[in-house]
Structure 1
Amino acid sequence: MCIVKSAIETTPDDIDKIFSINFKGTFLADIAAAKQMKKQDTLGKIINCSSIAGHSGFGYLAAYSGTKFAIRGLTQALAAELAPKITVNAYCPGIVDTDMWKEIDESLAPYLGVEKGQAFTQYSKQILMGRPQKPEDVADLVSFLASPNSDYITGQAFISDGGIVMN
Protein backbone atom coordinates (compact mmCIF):
# COMPACT_ATOMS: atom_id res chain seq x y z
CA MET A 1 0.00 0.00 0.00
CA CYS A 2 1.23 3.48 -0.83
CA ILE A 3 0.11 6.82 0.57
CA VAL A 4 1.16 9.79 -1.52
CA LYS A 5 0.96 12.98 0.55
CA SER A 6 3.25 15.69 1.73
CA ALA A 7 4.70 14.75 5.10
CA ILE A 8 2.98 17.68 6.80
CA GLU A 9 -0.42 16.55 5.46
CA THR A 10 0.06 12.95 6.60
CA THR A 11 -2.20 12.12 9.53
CA PRO A 12 -1.65 9.71 12.43
CA ASP A 13 -4.41 7.56 10.90
CA ASP A 14 -2.49 7.45 7.59
CA ILE A 15 0.62 6.30 9.45
CA ASP A 16 -1.29 3.67 11.44
CA LYS A 17 -2.92 2.31 8.28
CA ILE A 18 0.19 2.11 6.12
CA PHE A 19 2.38 0.64 8.88
CA SER A 20 -0.33 -1.86 9.76
CA ILE A 21 -0.60 -3.08 6.18
CA ASN A 22 2.99 -2.79 4.93
CA PHE A 23 5.08 -3.50 8.04
CA LYS A 24 2.87 -5.28 10.55
CA GLY A 25 1.38 -7.50 7.84
CA THR A 26 4.86 -8.47 6.64
CA PHE A 27 6.12 -9.04 10.19
CA LEU A 28 3.21 -11.30 11.13
CA ALA A 29 3.37 -13.25 7.84
CA ASP A 30 7.14 -13.76 8.28
CA ILE A 31 6.69 -15.07 11.83
CA ALA A 32 3.89 -17.44 10.79
CA ALA A 33 6.04 -18.72 7.91
CA ALA A 34 9.12 -19.09 10.14
CA LYS A 35 7.19 -21.14 12.70
CA GLN A 36 6.07 -23.55 9.99
CA MET A 37 9.49 -23.66 8.31
CA LYS A 38 11.21 -24.53 11.60
CA LYS A 39 9.08 -27.70 11.74
CA GLN A 40 10.44 -28.82 8.36
CA ASP A 41 13.76 -30.48 7.72
CA THR A 42 14.68 -28.36 4.69
CA LEU A 43 16.02 -24.87 4.15
CA GLY A 44 13.25 -22.29 4.40
CA LYS A 45 13.17 -19.02 2.49
CA ILE A 46 11.35 -15.84 3.42
CA ILE A 47 11.24 -13.19 0.72
CA ASN A 48 9.97 -9.74 1.71
CA CYS A 49 8.83 -6.90 -0.52
CA SER A 50 10.58 -3.61 0.12
CA SER A 51 11.16 -0.90 -2.50
CA ILE A 52 13.72 1.57 -3.77
CA ALA A 53 11.82 3.90 -1.42
CA GLY A 54 13.29 1.73 1.34
CA HIS A 55 16.80 2.64 0.17
CA SER A 56 16.28 6.30 -0.66
CA GLY A 57 13.53 8.58 0.62
CA PHE A 58 11.30 10.13 -2.01
CA GLY A 59 9.29 13.30 -1.55
CA TYR A 60 5.57 12.83 -0.92
CA LEU A 61 6.23 9.19 0.00
CA ALA A 62 7.53 9.68 3.56
CA ALA A 63 5.15 7.23 5.26
CA TYR A 64 5.58 4.67 2.47
CA SER A 65 9.37 5.05 2.58
CA GLY A 66 9.29 4.55 6.34
CA THR A 67 7.51 1.23 5.98
CA LYS A 68 9.89 0.03 3.29
CA PHE A 69 12.98 1.00 5.32
CA ALA A 70 11.39 -0.88 8.24
CA ILE A 71 10.99 -3.99 6.08
CA ARG A 72 14.70 -3.87 5.25
CA GLY A 73 15.49 -3.74 8.98
CA LEU A 74 13.08 -6.60 9.66
CA THR A 75 14.70 -8.62 6.87
CA GLN A 76 18.15 -8.18 8.42
CA ALA A 77 16.97 -8.88 11.98
CA LEU A 78 15.12 -12.05 10.99
CA ALA A 79 18.06 -13.21 8.87
CA ALA A 80 20.30 -12.94 11.94
CA GLU A 81 17.76 -14.73 14.13
CA LEU A 82 16.65 -17.52 11.80
CA ALA A 83 19.93 -18.59 10.14
CA PRO A 84 21.04 -21.17 9.20
CA LYS A 85 17.68 -22.96 8.81
CA ILE A 86 15.86 -20.06 7.09
CA THR A 87 17.16 -17.36 4.76
CA VAL A 88 15.46 -13.98 4.75
CA ASN A 89 15.89 -11.55 1.88
CA ALA A 90 13.96 -8.72 0.27
CA TYR A 91 13.41 -7.47 -3.22
CA CYS A 92 13.20 -3.74 -3.87
CA PRO A 93 11.52 -2.83 -7.13
CA GLY A 94 11.59 0.60 -8.68
CA ILE A 95 9.12 2.12 -11.09
CA VAL A 96 7.06 -0.84 -12.23
CA ASP A 97 4.49 -0.32 -14.95
CA THR A 98 1.49 -1.48 -12.89
CA ASP A 99 -1.82 -0.15 -11.62
CA MET A 100 -0.11 0.81 -8.36
CA TRP A 101 2.16 3.21 -10.24
CA LYS A 102 -0.83 4.63 -12.10
CA GLU A 103 -2.34 5.49 -8.71
CA ILE A 104 0.99 6.93 -7.48
CA ASP A 105 1.25 8.99 -10.66
CA GLU A 106 -2.25 10.37 -10.25
CA SER A 107 -1.56 11.35 -6.62
CA LEU A 108 1.90 12.79 -7.35
CA ALA A 109 0.86 14.91 -10.33
CA PRO A 110 -0.68 17.79 -8.32
CA TYR A 111 2.35 17.99 -6.02
CA LEU A 112 4.71 18.10 -8.99
CA GLY A 113 2.52 20.50 -10.98
CA VAL A 114 2.17 18.10 -13.91
CA GLU A 115 -0.66 16.39 -15.77
CA LYS A 116 -1.79 12.84 -15.02
CA GLY A 117 0.71 10.44 -16.61
CA GLN A 118 3.59 12.89 -16.53
CA ALA A 119 4.88 11.97 -13.06
CA PHE A 120 5.36 8.38 -14.24
CA THR A 121 7.12 9.66 -17.36
CA GLN A 122 9.25 12.12 -15.37
CA TYR A 123 10.42 9.49 -12.87
CA SER A 124 10.93 6.91 -15.64
CA LYS A 125 13.47 9.23 -17.30
CA GLN A 126 15.79 8.53 -14.34
CA ILE A 127 16.00 4.83 -15.27
CA LEU A 128 19.39 4.08 -16.80
CA MET A 129 18.07 0.99 -18.60
CA GLY A 130 15.79 3.29 -20.60
CA ARG A 131 12.40 1.85 -19.68
CA PRO A 132 10.09 1.31 -16.72
CA GLN A 133 10.28 -2.03 -15.02
CA LYS A 134 7.91 -4.80 -16.09
CA PRO A 135 6.29 -7.14 -13.55
CA GLU A 136 8.31 -9.94 -15.18
CA ASP A 137 11.54 -8.16 -14.19
CA VAL A 138 10.46 -8.31 -10.55
CA ALA A 139 9.32 -11.92 -10.90
CA ASP A 140 12.74 -12.92 -12.25
CA LEU A 141 14.47 -11.59 -9.13
CA VAL A 142 11.95 -13.22 -6.79
CA SER A 143 12.36 -16.52 -8.69
CA PHE A 144 16.11 -16.32 -8.16
CA LEU A 145 15.67 -15.65 -4.44
CA ALA A 146 13.31 -18.64 -4.17
CA SER A 147 15.70 -20.92 -6.09
CA PRO A 148 18.58 -23.04 -4.80
CA ASN A 149 20.92 -20.54 -6.51
CA SER A 150 20.37 -18.17 -3.57
CA ASP A 151 20.78 -20.73 -0.76
CA TYR A 152 23.85 -18.96 0.64
CA ILE A 153 22.35 -15.45 0.55
CA THR A 154 20.56 -14.00 3.57
CA GLY A 155 19.85 -10.59 5.07
CA GLN A 156 20.01 -8.78 1.75
CA ALA A 157 17.68 -6.30 0.08
CA PHE A 158 18.13 -6.47 -3.67
CA ILE A 159 17.36 -3.39 -5.73
CA SER A 160 15.84 -4.12 -9.12
CA ASP A 161 15.11 -0.73 -10.65
CA GLY A 162 17.06 -0.41 -13.90
CA GLY A 163 19.61 1.88 -12.27
CA ILE A 164 17.76 4.61 -10.37
CA VAL A 165 19.15 3.98 -6.88
CA MET A 166 22.69 2.67 -6.80
CA ASN A 167 23.89 1.77 -3.32
Structure 2
Amino acid sequence: MPKTTSRSILVTGAARGIGRAIALRLAEDGHDVVINDIPANMAAAEAVAAEIRSLGRRSGTAIADVSDPEEVRAMVAETVAALGRLDGLVANAGIAHIQGLLDLDIADWDKVMNVNLRGVFLCYQAAARQMVAQGGGGKIIGAASIVAYRPFALLGPYSASKWGVRGLTQAAAMEWAKYGITVNAYCPGIVGTNMWDLIDEKLGAEEGLAKGEALRKYAGSIMLGRVSEPEDVAKYVSYLASDDSDYMTGQSVMIDGGIQFS
Protein backbone atom coordinates (compact mmCIF):
# COMPACT_ATOMS: atom_id res chain seq x y z
CA MET A 1 0.00 0.00 0.00
CA PRO A 2 1.39 3.43 -0.90
CA LYS A 3 2.39 5.72 1.94
CA THR A 4 -0.47 8.17 2.34
CA THR A 5 -2.12 10.79 4.49
CA SER A 6 -5.82 10.15 5.03
CA ARG A 7 -7.74 12.39 2.63
CA SER A 8 -11.33 13.39 1.88
CA ILE A 9 -11.91 12.42 -1.75
CA LEU A 10 -14.74 12.77 -4.25
CA VAL A 11 -15.02 10.16 -7.02
CA THR A 12 -17.38 10.83 -9.94
CA GLY A 13 -19.13 8.08 -11.87
CA ALA A 14 -18.37 5.69 -9.01
CA ALA A 15 -21.50 3.54 -8.83
CA ARG A 16 -19.94 0.79 -10.93
CA GLY A 17 -16.98 -0.26 -13.04
CA ILE A 18 -13.67 1.53 -12.72
CA GLY A 19 -15.13 4.29 -10.52
CA ARG A 20 -16.46 1.77 -8.00
CA ALA A 21 -13.12 -0.05 -7.88
CA ILE A 22 -11.29 3.25 -7.37
CA ALA A 23 -13.61 4.36 -4.57
CA LEU A 24 -13.26 1.05 -2.71
CA ARG A 25 -9.48 0.99 -3.11
CA LEU A 26 -9.19 4.54 -1.78
CA ALA A 27 -11.26 3.56 1.24
CA GLU A 28 -9.02 0.54 1.81
CA ASP A 29 -6.07 2.93 1.70
CA GLY A 30 -7.60 4.91 4.58
CA HIS A 31 -9.39 7.73 2.76
CA ASP A 32 -12.95 8.97 3.25
CA VAL A 33 -14.84 8.93 -0.05
CA VAL A 34 -18.00 10.54 -1.44
CA ILE A 35 -19.60 8.67 -4.34
CA ASN A 36 -21.05 10.63 -7.26
CA ASP A 37 -23.27 9.35 -10.04
CA ILE A 38 -26.43 10.26 -11.92
CA PRO A 39 -29.92 9.66 -10.49
CA ALA A 40 -30.44 6.42 -12.44
CA ASN A 41 -27.42 4.88 -10.72
CA MET A 42 -27.94 6.16 -7.19
CA ALA A 43 -29.08 2.83 -5.69
CA ALA A 44 -25.77 1.35 -6.81
CA ALA A 45 -23.93 4.45 -5.55
CA GLU A 46 -25.56 4.08 -2.13
CA ALA A 47 -24.42 0.45 -2.04
CA VAL A 48 -20.82 1.50 -2.72
CA ALA A 49 -21.02 4.14 0.03
CA ALA A 50 -22.37 1.52 2.45
CA GLU A 51 -19.52 -0.81 1.55
CA ILE A 52 -17.03 1.97 2.26
CA ARG A 53 -18.62 2.64 5.65
CA SER A 54 -18.33 -1.07 6.43
CA LEU A 55 -14.56 -0.60 6.01
CA GLY A 56 -14.61 1.98 8.79
CA ARG A 57 -14.34 5.06 6.57
CA ARG A 58 -16.77 7.95 6.15
CA SER A 59 -18.79 8.01 2.93
CA GLY A 60 -21.88 9.46 1.31
CA THR A 61 -23.38 10.08 -2.10
CA ALA A 62 -23.80 13.17 -4.27
CA ILE A 63 -26.15 13.16 -7.26
CA ALA A 64 -24.88 15.34 -10.10
CA ASP A 65 -24.58 15.58 -13.85
CA VAL A 66 -20.91 16.48 -14.26
CA SER A 67 -21.66 18.51 -17.40
CA ASP A 68 -23.80 20.97 -15.41
CA PRO A 69 -21.73 23.65 -13.63
CA GLU A 70 -24.34 24.32 -10.93
CA GLU A 71 -24.67 20.63 -10.13
CA VAL A 72 -20.90 20.24 -10.00
CA ARG A 73 -20.58 23.15 -7.58
CA ALA A 74 -23.32 21.65 -5.42
CA MET A 75 -21.60 18.25 -5.54
CA VAL A 76 -18.36 19.72 -4.21
CA ALA A 77 -20.27 21.60 -1.50
CA GLU A 78 -22.04 18.37 -0.48
CA THR A 79 -18.69 16.60 -0.26
CA VAL A 80 -17.27 19.31 1.98
CA ALA A 81 -20.41 19.22 4.14
CA ALA A 82 -20.12 15.44 4.51
CA LEU A 83 -16.35 15.13 4.99
CA GLY A 84 -15.28 18.57 6.27
CA ARG A 85 -13.01 19.41 3.35
CA LEU A 86 -11.93 18.27 -0.11
CA ASP A 87 -8.39 16.93 -0.45
CA GLY A 88 -8.79 14.90 -3.62
CA LEU A 89 -10.92 14.52 -6.72
CA VAL A 90 -11.11 11.62 -9.13
CA ALA A 91 -12.97 12.86 -12.23
CA ASN A 92 -13.87 9.39 -13.46
CA ALA A 93 -17.33 9.84 -15.04
CA GLY A 94 -17.37 9.16 -18.77
CA ILE A 95 -19.41 7.76 -21.64
CA ALA A 96 -18.70 6.32 -25.09
CA HIS A 97 -20.51 6.50 -28.42
CA ILE A 98 -19.58 4.03 -31.16
CA GLN A 99 -20.27 5.19 -34.70
CA GLY A 100 -18.44 6.15 -37.86
CA LEU A 101 -17.68 9.85 -38.24
CA LEU A 102 -19.52 10.16 -41.56
CA ASP A 103 -22.79 9.19 -39.90
CA LEU A 104 -22.24 10.90 -36.54
CA ASP A 105 -24.95 13.27 -35.37
CA ILE A 106 -23.80 16.49 -33.72
CA ALA A 107 -26.01 15.75 -30.71
CA ASP A 108 -24.08 12.54 -30.07
CA TRP A 109 -20.76 14.40 -30.47
CA ASP A 110 -21.91 17.02 -27.95
CA LYS A 111 -23.14 14.40 -25.47
CA VAL A 112 -19.76 12.68 -25.33
CA MET A 113 -17.82 15.95 -25.16
CA ASN A 114 -20.11 17.38 -22.49
CA VAL A 115 -19.53 14.48 -20.12
CA ASN A 116 -15.96 13.44 -20.94
CA LEU A 117 -14.26 16.80 -21.44
CA ARG A 118 -16.53 19.62 -20.25
CA GLY A 119 -17.39 17.47 -17.22
CA VAL A 120 -13.76 16.85 -16.35
CA PHE A 121 -13.00 20.57 -16.72
CA LEU A 122 -15.90 21.57 -14.47
CA CYS A 123 -14.91 19.03 -11.83
CA TYR A 124 -11.23 20.02 -11.99
CA GLN A 125 -12.14 23.70 -11.67
CA ALA A 126 -14.62 23.30 -8.81
CA ALA A 127 -12.25 21.04 -6.89
CA ALA A 128 -9.28 23.35 -7.39
CA ARG A 129 -11.28 26.38 -6.23
CA GLN A 130 -12.22 24.53 -3.06
CA MET A 131 -8.64 23.42 -2.47
CA VAL A 132 -7.31 26.95 -2.94
CA ALA A 133 -9.95 28.27 -0.51
CA GLN A 134 -8.76 25.71 2.04
CA GLY A 135 -5.21 27.03 1.79
CA GLY A 136 -3.90 24.95 -1.10
CA GLY A 137 -2.68 21.43 -1.62
CA GLY A 138 -4.63 18.55 -3.06
CA LYS A 139 -4.74 15.73 -5.56
CA ILE A 140 -6.74 16.09 -8.77
CA ILE A 141 -6.94 12.97 -10.92
CA GLY A 142 -8.76 12.60 -14.24
CA ALA A 143 -9.94 9.78 -16.48
CA ALA A 144 -8.22 9.79 -19.85
CA SER A 145 -7.79 6.58 -21.87
CA ILE A 146 -5.47 4.67 -24.13
CA VAL A 147 -7.24 6.56 -26.94
CA ALA A 148 -5.61 9.75 -25.63
CA TYR A 149 -2.49 8.34 -27.30
CA ARG A 150 -3.87 6.08 -30.04
CA PRO A 151 -7.51 6.53 -31.15
CA PHE A 152 -9.72 3.62 -32.14
CA ALA A 153 -11.83 3.64 -35.31
CA LEU A 154 -15.55 4.23 -34.63
CA LEU A 155 -14.64 5.96 -31.35
CA GLY A 156 -13.99 9.42 -32.79
CA PRO A 157 -15.76 11.60 -30.20
CA TYR A 158 -14.53 9.45 -27.32
CA SER A 159 -10.96 9.58 -28.64
CA ALA A 160 -11.09 13.34 -29.15
CA SER A 161 -12.51 13.89 -25.66
CA LYS A 162 -9.76 11.83 -24.03
CA TRP A 163 -7.02 13.62 -25.97
CA GLY A 164 -8.62 16.76 -24.56
CA VAL A 165 -8.44 15.43 -21.01
CA ARG A 166 -4.74 14.75 -21.50
CA GLY A 167 -4.11 18.34 -22.61
CA LEU A 168 -6.34 19.81 -19.93
CA THR A 169 -4.50 17.82 -17.27
CA GLN A 170 -1.15 19.23 -18.37
CA ALA A 171 -2.49 22.79 -18.49
CA ALA A 172 -4.13 22.52 -15.06
CA ALA A 173 -0.96 21.07 -13.58
CA MET A 174 1.03 24.04 -14.89
CA GLU A 175 -1.43 26.61 -13.52
CA TRP A 176 -2.10 25.06 -10.13
CA ALA A 177 1.35 23.89 -9.09
CA LYS A 178 1.79 27.22 -7.28
CA TYR A 179 -1.09 26.19 -5.00
CA GLY A 180 0.47 22.85 -4.17
CA ILE A 181 -2.15 20.98 -6.24
CA THR A 182 -1.00 18.08 -8.39
CA VAL A 183 -3.01 17.12 -11.49
CA ASN A 184 -2.56 13.77 -13.22
CA ALA A 185 -4.62 11.40 -15.35
CA TYR A 186 -4.93 7.65 -15.78
CA CYS A 187 -5.31 6.04 -19.21
CA PRO A 188 -6.92 2.59 -19.02
CA GLY A 189 -6.60 0.21 -21.94
CA ILE A 190 -9.21 -2.48 -22.57
CA VAL A 191 -11.06 -3.08 -19.31
CA GLY A 192 -13.69 -5.67 -18.39
CA THR A 193 -16.56 -3.18 -17.85
CA ASN A 194 -20.05 -2.56 -19.26
CA MET A 195 -18.64 0.17 -21.49
CA TRP A 196 -16.23 -2.21 -23.18
CA ASP A 197 -19.02 -4.77 -23.56
CA LEU A 198 -20.93 -2.11 -25.51
CA ILE A 199 -17.85 -1.24 -27.58
CA ASP A 200 -17.38 -4.94 -28.38
CA GLU A 201 -21.04 -5.23 -29.46
CA LYS A 202 -20.98 -2.14 -31.67
CA LEU A 203 -17.58 -2.81 -33.23
CA GLY A 204 -18.58 -6.41 -33.86
CA ALA A 205 -21.73 -5.29 -35.67
CA GLU A 206 -19.72 -2.87 -37.83
CA GLU A 207 -17.06 -5.45 -38.66
CA GLY A 208 -19.31 -8.52 -38.99
CA LEU A 209 -17.91 -10.22 -35.88
CA ALA A 210 -19.72 -12.33 -33.30
CA LYS A 211 -20.15 -11.12 -29.71
CA GLY A 212 -16.78 -11.15 -27.96
CA GLU A 213 -14.72 -11.39 -31.14
CA ALA A 214 -14.07 -7.65 -31.56
CA LEU A 215 -12.80 -7.43 -28.00
CA ARG A 216 -10.58 -10.48 -28.52
CA LYS A 217 -9.27 -8.91 -31.74
CA TYR A 218 -8.12 -5.75 -29.97
CA ALA A 219 -7.00 -7.59 -26.84
CA GLY A 220 -4.83 -10.01 -28.80
CA SER A 221 -1.91 -7.58 -28.79
CA ILE A 222 -1.82 -7.09 -25.00
CA MET A 223 1.65 -8.14 -23.87
CA LEU A 224 0.46 -9.39 -20.47
CA GLY A 225 -2.05 -11.66 -22.16
CA ARG A 226 -5.32 -10.50 -20.59
CA VAL A 227 -7.88 -7.73 -20.55
CA SER A 228 -7.51 -5.58 -17.45
CA GLU A 229 -9.89 -5.47 -14.51
CA PRO A 230 -11.12 -2.25 -12.87
CA GLU A 231 -8.89 -3.06 -9.88
CA ASP A 232 -5.80 -2.78 -12.11
CA VAL A 233 -6.67 0.86 -12.77
CA ALA A 234 -7.61 1.47 -9.14
CA LYS A 235 -4.12 0.44 -8.01
CA TYR A 236 -2.58 3.24 -10.06
CA VAL A 237 -5.12 5.80 -8.88
CA SER A 238 -4.28 4.70 -5.33
CA TYR A 239 -0.71 5.78 -6.03
CA LEU A 240 -1.80 9.13 -7.51
CA ALA A 241 -3.87 9.84 -4.39
CA SER A 242 -1.02 8.92 -2.07
CA ASP A 243 1.90 10.87 -0.63
CA ASP A 244 4.24 8.82 -2.82
CA SER A 245 3.09 10.78 -5.90
CA ASP A 246 3.68 14.23 -4.40
CA TYR A 247 6.42 15.04 -6.95
CA MET A 248 4.39 13.88 -9.94
CA THR A 249 2.13 16.26 -11.87
CA GLY A 250 0.92 16.86 -15.42
CA GLN A 251 1.18 13.20 -16.39
CA SER A 252 -1.23 10.89 -18.22
CA VAL A 253 -0.06 7.31 -17.78
CA MET A 254 -1.36 4.24 -19.60
CA ILE A 255 -2.44 1.17 -17.65
CA ASP A 256 -2.97 -1.11 -20.63
CA GLY A 257 -1.00 -4.30 -20.06
CA GLY A 258 1.43 -3.27 -22.79
CA ILE A 259 -0.84 -3.10 -25.87
CA GLN A 260 1.18 -3.26 -29.07
CA PHE A 261 -0.23 -1.34 -32.03
CA SER A 262 0.65 -2.19 -35.61
Superposition TM-score, scaled by structure 2 size: 0.62
State the distance in 1 between where 2:195 and 2:152 align: 16
Task: Report what 1:99 is aligned to.
Answer: 194
Aligned partner letter, 1:20:
N
Given that 1:52 and 1:165 are in contact with CA atoms closer than 8 Å, whether structure 2 keeps it comes out as no
Give the match for residue 139 of structure 2. 45
- Residues 18 and 67 in structure 1, CA contact (< 8 A), matched pair in contact too: yes
Q: Which residue of 1 aligns with 2:149?
A: 55
Measured after TM superposition, the shift of residue 88 of structure 1 is 0.4
Aligned residues: 166
Query: Which of structure 1's runs of 4+ aligned residues deviate more than 3 A?
Result: none
Instruction: Return the offset for 1:34.
Output: 0.2
Structure 1 unaligned blocks of 5 or more? none
Q: Determine what percentage of the aligned residue pairs are the same residue.
A: 48
Is contact 1:97–1:132 with CA below 8 Å preserved after alignment? Answer: yes
Q: Which has the higher contact order (CA 8 A, sep 6+)?
A: 1
Counterpart-to-counterpart distance in 1, 2:145 and 2:260: 10
* Partner Cα separation in structure 2 for residue 83 and residue 147 of structure 1: 17
Say if 2:189 and 2:255, in contact at 8 Å, map to a contact too: yes
Instruction: Letter of the 2:150 partner, please give it.
Output: S
Equivalent residue, structure 2, for 1:74: 168
**TM-score, structure 1 length as denominator?**
0.96
Shift of 1:42: 5.3
Is the counterpart of residue 140 in structure 1 residue 235 in structure 2?
yes
Root-mean-square deviation (CA, aligned residues, Å) is 1.2
Where structure 2 has 5 or more consecutive residues not aligned to the other structure, the ranges are 1-94
Residue of structure 1 in register with 2:64 after alignment: none
Q: Look up the SS of the partner of 1:163 in the other structure.
A: coil
SS at match of 1:137: helix
Structure 1 residue matching 2:169: 3-state secondary structure = helix
CA distance in 1, matches of 2:153, 2:169: 24
